[in-house]
Amino acid sequence: MPEGLEAEIWTRAAQTLVGRTIERVWCDQRVAPPGFVDLLNGSTIGGVWRRGKVVLVETDGPTLGLHFGMTGRLEIDGAAPITRLEYASNRDRAAWDRLRLWTKATNDTSPSERPALRMNDPRRLGRLSLDPDLSGLGADCLTLSADELIAGLGRRSGAIKPTLLDQAVVAGLGNLCADEVLFHAGVAPRRPADSLTGDDIDAISEQCRLRLPVMLAAGGSTHGDLSPEVRAAVGACPLDGAPLDRTSINGRTAVWCPAHQR
Ligand SMILES: [Zn+2]
């Protein structure tokens, strides 16, 4: 599923839209707020940024929020910055489109038939928003400090893995990145959050800042040491050769190494 890393890749690709005026908007009304099309039409894109897993297209009108759910993906000027997503069908059907947005460059008077921005979402679990309230999101996963992690965890006592997936604790972590960070931090996914030592907190926040940028540069959340292939095979730990374990925690699959994650 798209995680903060995928949102970051799309955000960077969508920078090319900055300065363009939105000329026409089509959306699947089932995933958009009332008045969505009229409120966006004619506005000019001033910036594209990201909070957690949300891509935000700022305009001189409202800010458009793109929430990708389990299977959403983005195309910009007809190109897909990410072509493969775990869990998502790699087929591409127009019937799965949830947003098509056409723009006009400032010096271009002829509208283009190809949407400048297209959101496709087979399972329709994503949504579109205008001026989304992001105040409930925790600190961002790519820059997470130890103090931010401590603040995000608060007095939570549940298993650390599902706790890290709570966007109010850390924004942007999904299933693959949370497993990868815990794997490199040497922390077992079922460890109660309130049992973590200062060293554990330091290790988790540090691996967010070190590991996630490496995965981002390699192509996103499927490019960790615990890649979808490694997760499917549940073979030997890439670090120490011990057998990996695959288990379900709060309904999500966790892959981890019982030998070095404590
Ligand atoms: Zn190991």
Rounded mean pLDDT for each run of 10 residues along the chain, 262 residues in total:
94 96 95 96 97 98 95 90 66 88 74 85 92 97 98 98 98 98 98 98 98 96 95 96 97 97 98
User: From the CA of 257, how far away is ligand 1's center (Å)?
Assistant: 5
- pTM listed for this prediction: 0.94
Cα(34)–Cα(124) distance, integer angstroms: 17
pLDDT number for residue 174: 97
User: From the CA of 42, how far away is ligand 1's center (Å)?
Assistant: 54
Q: What is the CA radius of gyration of the chain?
A: 20
User: From the CA of 241, how far away is ligand 1's center (Å)?
Assistant: 6
User: From the CA of 262, how far away is ligand 1's center (Å)?
Assistant: 10
Q: Cα–chain-centroid distance for residue 85?
A: 11
User: From the CA of 239, how far away is ligand 1's center (Å)?
Assistant: 5
User: From the CA of 160, how far away is ligand 1's center (Å)?
Assistant: 18
pLDDT number for residue 141: 98
User: From the CA of 148, how far away is ligand 1's center (Å)?
Assistant: 27
User: From the CA of 243, how far away is ligand 1's center (Å)?
Assistant: 8
Is 121 in contact with 30 (CB distance < 8 Å)?
no
User: From the CA of 202, how far away is ligand 1's center (Å)?
Assistant: 19
Residues 6+ apart with CB under 8 A from 172: 3, 4, 5, 7, 50, 52, 53, 140, 141, 142
What domains are there in the chain, each with its CATH number? 4-130 (3.20.190.10), 139-256 (1.10.8.50)
Question: If we measure between CA atoms, which residue out of 99, 52, 96 comes closest to residue 71?
Answer: 96
User: From the CA of 111, how far away is ligand 1's center (Å)?
Assistant: 55
User: From the CA of 36, how far away is ligand 1's center (Å)?
Assistant: 49
User: From the CA of 165, how far away is ligand 1's center (Å)?
Assistant: 22
User: From the CA of 227, how far away is ligand 1's center (Å)?
Assistant: 15
Which residues are registered as beta bridge partners of 57? 48, 64
User: From the CA of 84, how far away is ligand 1's center (Å)?
Assistant: 27
| Neighbour tally for 222: CB within 10 Å | 20
